[in-house]
Chain A
Amino acid sequence: MASYWNRNPIRVFVFLILTVFVVVRSNIPSTPGEGAEERRWEASQVGDVDPGMSVAPPHPHTNTDSFQEELVVRPLHSGDIYASFQFRTVWEADFSRGNKVSHYQLFPKSLGQVISKFSVRELHISFTQGYWRTMQWGQPFLPSPPGAELWVWFQDSVTDVDGTWKELTNVLSGIFCASLNFIDSTNTVQPSAAFKPLGVGNVTDHRFLRYATLPREIVCTENLTPWKKLLPCGSKAGLAVLLKSEKLFHSSFHSQAVHIRPICQDQRCKSTSLELRQTLNAVFDLHTSGQAKREWSLFKMFSRTLTEACPLASSSKIYIDITDNSQGEQFELSPASSLLSQAVVLGDRRTFSVYDLTDQATFGSTRSLNLLIRLKSTDGDMLRPLLHAERYVAGYGLQTGEIHTVMYNHHPYRSFPVLLLDSVPWYLRLYIHTLTVTSKGKENKPSYIHYQPSKDRLRPHLLEMLVQLPPNSATEVTVEFERALLKWTEYTPDPNHGFYVGSSVISSLVPSTVATNTSITQEQPLFSSFFPCKEELSYFVRVYTEPLLVNLPTPDFSMPYNVICLTCTVVAVGYGSLYNLLTRSFQIEEPSPGLAKRIANVIRRMRGVPPL
Chain B
Amino acid sequence: MKILTLLSFFTAYTLTASVNIEDSAGQFFSSGHTNNWAVLVCTSRFWFNYRHVANTLSVYRSVKRLGIPDSHIVLMLADDMACNHRNPKPATVFSHKNMELNVYGDDVEVDYRGYEVTVENFLRVLTGRLPPSTPRSKRLLSDDRSNILIYLTGHGGNGFLKFQDSEEISNVELADAFEQMWQKRRYNELLFIIDTCQGASMYERFYSPNLMALASSQVGEDSLSHQPDLAIGVHLMDRYTFYLLEFLEDIHPASKTNMNDLFKVCPKSQCVSTPGHRTDLFLRDPGSVLITDFFGSVRKIEITMETINLTDPIKQMEENSGNDVQTENNTYVDQLPVSEIIHQKPKQRDWHPPDGFILGLWTLILLVFFKTYGVKHLKHVF
Asked if residues B333 and A44 are in contact (CB atoms below 8 Å), the reply is yes
Q: Which of B133, B333, B336 contacts A508 (CB 8 A)?
A: B336
Centre residue among B92, B325, B338 by max chain A CB count within 10 A: B338
Q: Which of B106, B327, B381 contacts A221 (CB 8 A)?
A: B106
- B residues 28-85 near A (Cβ < 8 Å) are 45-46, 80, 82-83
- Given the complex, which residues of B lie within 8 Å of A262, measured CB to CB? 330
Tell yes or no: B347 within 8 A of A by CB: yes
> Chain B interface: which of A173-181, A354-362, A380-388, A580-588?
A173-181
Tell yes or no: B254 within 8 A of A by CB: no
Tell yes or no: A211 within 8 A of B by CB: no
Provide the bound-state CA to CA distance between A322 and B353, in Å. Answer: 63
Using CB atoms, name the residue of chain B closest to A17: B365
- Given the complex, which residues of B lie within 8 Å of A226, measured CB to CB? 109
Asked if residues B369 and A41 are in contact (CB atoms below 8 Å), the reply is no
Shortest CB-to-CB span from B156 to chain A, Å, is 16
Provide the bound-state CA to CA distance between A287 and B229, in Å. Answer: 24
Q: Which of B327, B330, B335 contacts A201 (CB 8 A)?
A: B330
Q: Which of B328, B332, B372 contacts A53 (CB 8 A)?
A: B332
- Given the complex, which residues of A lie within 8 Å of B348, measured CB to CB? 35, 39
Provide the bound-state CA to CA distance between A493 and B79, in Å. Answer: 11
Centre residue among A219, A225, A262 by max chain B CB count within 10 A: A225
- Given the complex, which residues of A lie within 8 Å of B335, measured CB to CB? 196, 198, 507, 509, 531-532, 534, 540
Shortest CB-to-CB span from A39 to chain B, Å, is 6
Asked if residues A218 and B368 are in contact (CB atoms below 8 Å), the reply is no
Asked if residues B338 and A466 are in contact (CB atoms below 8 Å), the reply is yes
Asked if residues A16 and B113 are in contact (CB atoms below 8 Å), the reply is no
Contact (A13, B133) CB under 8 Å given A97-B324, A177-B110: no
Q: Which of B46, B317, B329 contacts A268 (CB 8 A)?
A: B329
Shortest CB-to-CB span from A304 to chain B, Å, is 12
Asked if residues A221 and B351 are in contact (CB atoms below 8 Å), the reply is no
Asked if residues B106 and A245 are in contact (CB atoms below 8 Å), the reply is yes
Asked if residues B135 and A170 are in contact (CB atoms below 8 Å), the reply is yes
Tell yes or no: A197 within 8 A of B by CB: yes
Asked if residues B332 and A199 are in contact (CB atoms below 8 Å), the reply is yes
Provide the bound-state CA to CA distance between A24 and B82, in Å. Answer: 64
Tell yes or no: B15 within 8 A of A by CB: no
A42-56, CB under 8 A of B: which get 1 and which 0? 111010000101000
Shortest CB-to-CB span from A105 to chain B, Å, is 16
Asked if residues B342 and A448 are in contact (CB atoms below 8 Å), the reply is yes
Shortest CB-to-CB span from A352 to chain B, Å, is 25
Tell yes or no: B249 within 8 A of A by CB: no
Tell yes or no: B337 within 8 A of A by CB: yes
Asked if residues B325 and A197 are in contact (CB atoms below 8 Å), the reply is no
Tell yes or no: A9 within 8 A of B by CB: yes
Using CB atoms, name the residue of chain B closest to A100: B317
Asked if residues B45 and A16 are in contact (CB atoms below 8 Å), the reply is no
Using CB atoms, name the residue of chain A closest to B107: A225
Tell yes or no: A183 within 8 A of B by CB: no
Shortest CB-to-CB span from A191 to chain B, Å, is 11
> Chain B interface: which of A269-277, A305-313, A389-397, A403-411?
A269-277
Using CB atoms, name the residue of chain B closest to A216: B114
Tell yes or no: A77 within 8 A of B by CB: no
Asked if residues B83 and A494 are in contact (CB atoms below 8 Å), the reply is no
Asked if residues B109 and A225 are in contact (CB atoms below 8 Å), the reply is yes
Asked if residues A492 and B106 are in contact (CB atoms below 8 Å), the reply is no
Asked if residues A450 and B136 are in contact (CB atoms below 8 Å), the reply is no
Asked if residues B136 and A174 are in contact (CB atoms below 8 Å), the reply is yes
- Given the complex, which residues of B lie within 8 Å of A41, measured CB to CB? 340, 343-345
Tell yes or no: A264 within 8 A of B by CB: yes
A-B residue pair count with CB separations less than 8 angstroms: 203
Tell yes or no: B164 within 8 A of A by CB: yes
Contact (A249, B111) CB under 8 Å given A24-B353, A39-B347, A221-B104: no
Asked if residues B115 and A448 are in contact (CB atoms below 8 Å), the reply is no
Centre residue among B80, B135, B343 by max chain A CB count within 10 A: B135
Q: Which of B80, B326, B373 contacts A9 (CB 8 A)?
A: B373
Contact (A35, B113) CB under 8 Å given A10-B380, A509-B336: no
Tell yes or no: B341 within 8 A of A by CB: yes
Tell yes or no: A204 within 8 A of B by CB: yes
- Given the complex, which residues of B lie within 8 Å of A447, measured CB to CB? 338, 341-342
Asked if residues B138 and A174 are in contact (CB atoms below 8 Å), the reply is yes
Main secondary structure of the interface of B (DSSP, over half): loop
Tell yes or no: A595 within 8 A of B by CB: no
- A residues 1-53 near B (Cβ < 8 Å) are 5-6, 9-10, 12-13, 16-17, 20, 24, 28-29, 32, 35-36, 39, 41-44, 46, 51, 53
Tell yes or no: B18 within 8 A of A by CB: no
- Given the complex, which residues of B lie within 8 Å of A222, measured CB to CB? 108-110, 113
- Given the complex, which residues of A lie within 8 Å of B332, measured CB to CB? 51, 53, 198-200, 532, 534
Asked if residues B361 and A20 are in contact (CB atoms below 8 Å), the reply is yes
Asked if residues B137 and A200 are in contact (CB atoms below 8 Å), the reply is no
Using CB atoms, name the residue of chain B closest to A39: B345
How many of A's residues come within 8 Å of B, CB to CB? 86
Tell yes or no: B334 within 8 A of A by CB: yes
Asked if residues A494 and B45 are in contact (CB atoms below 8 Å), the reply is yes
- Given the complex, which residues of B lie within 8 Å of A193, measured CB to CB? 341, 344
Asked if residues A419 and B341 are in contact (CB atoms below 8 Å), the reply is yes
Centre residue among B105, B135, B335 by max chain A CB count within 10 A: B335
- Given the complex, which residues of B lie within 8 Å of A269, measured CB to CB? 329-331
Tell yes or no: B315 within 8 A of A by CB: no
Asked if residues A540 and B336 are in contact (CB atoms below 8 Å), the reply is yes
Shortest CB-to-CB span from B141 to chain A, Å, is 13
Asked if residues A197 and B83 are in contact (CB atoms below 8 Å), the reply is no
A128-151, CB under 8 A of B: which get 1 and which 0? 010000000000000000000000
Shortest CB-to-CB span from A31 to chain B, Å, is 11
Provide the bound-state CA to CA distance between A340 and B92, in Å. Answer: 39
- Given the complex, which residues of A lie within 8 Å of B280, measured CB to CB? none
Tell yes or no: A302 within 8 A of B by CB: no
Shortest CB-to-CB span from A286 to chain B, Å, is 17
Provide the bound-state CA to CA distance between A179 and B333, in Å. Answer: 32
Tell yes or no: B287 within 8 A of A by CB: no
Using CB atoms, name the residue of chain A closest to B314: A102
Asked if residues A246 and B92 are in contact (CB atoms below 8 Å), the reply is yes
- Given the complex, which residues of A lie within 8 Å of B113, measured CB to CB? 177-179, 218, 222
Tell yes or no: B346 within 8 A of A by CB: yes
Asked if residues A177 and B365 are in contact (CB atoms below 8 Å), the reply is no
- Given the complex, which residues of A lie within 8 Å of B135, measured CB to CB? 170-171, 173-175
- Given the complex, which residues of A lie within 8 Å of B137, measured CB to CB? 174, 177
Provide the bound-state CA to CA distance between A221 and B373, in Å. Answer: 84
Tell yes or no: B90 within 8 A of A by CB: yes
- Given the complex, which residues of A lie within 8 Å of B333, measured CB to CB? 43-44, 196-198, 200-201, 204, 532
Contact (A270, B325) CB under 8 Å given A10-B381, A493-B165: yes
Asked if residues A200 and B338 are in contact (CB atoms below 8 Å), the reply is no
Provide the bound-state CA to CA distance between A62 and B165, in Å. Answer: 59
B287-318, CB under 8 A of A: which get 1 and which 0? 00000000000000000000000000000010
Provide the bound-state CA to CA distance between A16 and B371, in Å. Answer: 14
Shortest CB-to-CB span from A461 to chain B, Å, is 16
Using CB atoms, name the residue of chain B closest to A217: B114
Tell yes or no: B91 within 8 A of A by CB: yes
Interface residues of A (CB under 8 A from B): 5-6, 9-10, 12-13, 16-17, 20, 24, 28-29, 32, 35-36, 39, 41-44, 46, 51, 53, 97, 100, 129, 166-167, 170-171, 173-175, 177-179, 181-182, 192-193, 196-202, 204, 216, 218-222, 225-226, 244-246, 248-250, 262, 264, 268-272, 417, 419, 447-448, 450, 466, 492-494, 507-509, 531-532, 534, 540, 557
Besides A9-B380, A171-B133, 18 other A-B contacts (C-beta < 8 A) = A9-B372, A9-B373, A20-B365, A29-B351, A39-B345, A41-B345, A177-B137, A202-B328, A220-B80, A220-B83, A225-B107, A270-B325, A419-B336, A466-B342, A494-B45, A531-B335, A534-B335, A540-B336
> Can you list 7 A-B pairs, Cβ within 8 angstroms, ordered by A?
A9-B380, A13-B381, A16-B368, A51-B332, A171-B133, A270-B325, A493-B45
Closest 6 pairs between A and B when the two form their complex, measured CB to CB: A174-B135, A532-B332, A220-B83, A44-B334, A200-B330, A170-B133
